[in-house]
Structure 1
Amino acid sequence: MRNAETWTETKYVLRNGQLSSSDDPAEVGVGSRLISNLVAAKYFEGLKLHASGRLLDLGCGKAPLYGVYKTLATEVTCVDWGNSLHQTTHLDREADLTQPIDLPGQAFDTIILSDVLEHIPVPLDLCREIARLLAPGGKLIMNVPFYYPLHETPHDFYRYTEFALRRFMETVGMRVIHLEPIGGAVEIVSDIVSKNMVKLPIGGFFAARAMQAVAWWFARTRLGARVSKKTSAQFPLGYFMVAERPR
């Protein structure tokens, strides 16, 4: 990764032995901290279980997951498009992810695709590129939003069900080894309400922060966990997936 020595925590921070959302509103809006915390937890466990070898961070932005995978990978390559809304300090290569990527086939053991696929107009093309770039036995680790507002417009094209994600992987010859919803009805309600609360001219920031804190607490009670689990199949806030290129 280019300029690895200058890398600093951005969207995610390591805190008390866990990966969590940043409290910096310049990195994560107060209305997005709940989903950011949920996604961070999935990556923290998923990377430790599945990341290894030569790692490619596709659509890397500020490489917010580098703090976790830097000790798991033997080599890190960061790729993003040059007109990214995020800083490109750590880019090893600029690439339009809607086009074939100028990297050799079977060159990577791990590919990360974090909050990227919804911004690709022809997603199956990128999935084919990922399958080409992965070595046999290599793994894709990714997440996508589902019940989530439009963002980075006009480059926000799709929301995917678990069935679409499975079909993409099957079509390009990869095997899904882990796919789970992120959050359920509790988290969706909190996300929608807090993102609108924060727009209030007086007290919006604090109201949104309180709403997210209450939802985070409730989802970890016995009742809240049951509600989230029972509703996550039909009302997921997003998905986390690990897929493998067969050996």
Structure 2
Amino acid sequence: MKNPATWRPSKYVFKNGKLSASNDTNELGIASRMAATIAAEYYQNNIEIYAKGALLDLGCGKSPLYEIYSKHILSSTSADWDGTPHKNDNIDVKCDLTKKLPFDDATYDTVILSDVLEHLPNPENLFSEIYRILKIDGTLLLNTPFLYGIHEVPHDYYRYTQFALNRFANISKFKIVKIEATGGSPEIFIDLFAKHLQYIPFVGKISAIFIQRFLLAFRKTKIGKTISQKTAERFPFGYFMVIQK
């Protein structure tokens, strides 16, 4: 990462050993805190297992995962396209993710692709490029939404089922380690409810915060886990994926 001493937390914050959504409304919308917290949990759990060596944070934005992955790697490279809406003075490489990536073959041990896939018009090309630049046994970690609102207009192109993600991996010759739905009907309902509720005058924002906190607690209970897991197959909130070269 360029100028790591100037890096500051953005979308995620690290407190008491746990990565979670930021409360800073300049970095994350109030009604997106539940989704961000769920993504943060997946990344923390899997980065601790799979991140190693030289890491490329691709489509990095403000590199919100830097604080967690920097503890497990030898070096990191932050890359994003020149038109990113997320101003980041720590970006090492500006590149177009729809074209050949400006990195040599077998350069990286780990690649992070966080909340990026849905914003690419030709994702199959990127999977092939990531395969090329990963070392043998290198790992790609990514998340992408499914039943989720349009965002970062006009660069929001697709939503992918697990079958599409499997296909991308197989075409590029990746070995699939895991593909997990990040939630089911409860997460979808609360996310949509919070995003509408926040616009009610006076009580909307605090109510949106409360119901997201309730859902995050509920999904950890036995009944909450059961409902999320049973509905996630047909009604996935999003997906988290780990694949290896």
What TM-score comes out, normalization by structure 2 length?
0.98
Partner SS, residue 235 of structure 1: coil
2:120 pairs with 1:120 = yes
Structure 2: distance between partners of 1:213 and 1:102: 41
Q: Percent identity?
A: 42
Aligned counterparts, 1:1-247, within 5 A: 1-245=1-245
Q: What is the deviation of 1:3?
A: 1.1
RMSD: 0.9
Q: What is the deviation of 1:202?
A: 2.8
Structure 2: distance between partners of 1:18 and 1:141: 19
Q: What is the deviation of 1:174?
A: 0.6
User: Is the Cα contact below 8 Å between 1:147 and 1:235 reproduced in 2?
Assistant: yes
Q: What is the deviation of 1:18?
A: 1.1
The C-alpha deviation readout for 1:56-90, integer Å capped at 9, x for no partner, is: 00000110000011121111111000110101211
The C-alpha deviation readout for 1:109-130, integer Å capped at 9, x for no partner, is: 0000000011010110111111
Q: How many residue pairs end up in the alignment? A: 245
User: Is the Cα contact below 8 Å between 1:109 and 1:134 reproduced in 2?
Assistant: yes
User: Is the Cα contact below 8 Å between 1:82 and 1:88 reproduced in 2?
Assistant: no
Partner SS, residue 73 of structure 1: coil
User: Is the Cα contact below 8 Å between 1:142 and 1:240 reproduced in 2?
Assistant: yes
Q: What is the deviation of 1:214?
A: 1.8
User: Is the Cα contact below 8 Å between 1:31 and 1:191 reproduced in 2?
Assistant: yes
What TM-score comes out, normalization by structure 1 length?
0.97
Partner SS, residue 113 of structure 1: strand
The C-alpha deviation readout for 1:23-65, integer Å capped at 9, x for no partner, is: 1111111111111111000000100000000100000011000
Q: What is the deviation of 1:225?
A: 1.5
Structure 2: distance between partners of 1:162 and 1:171: 14
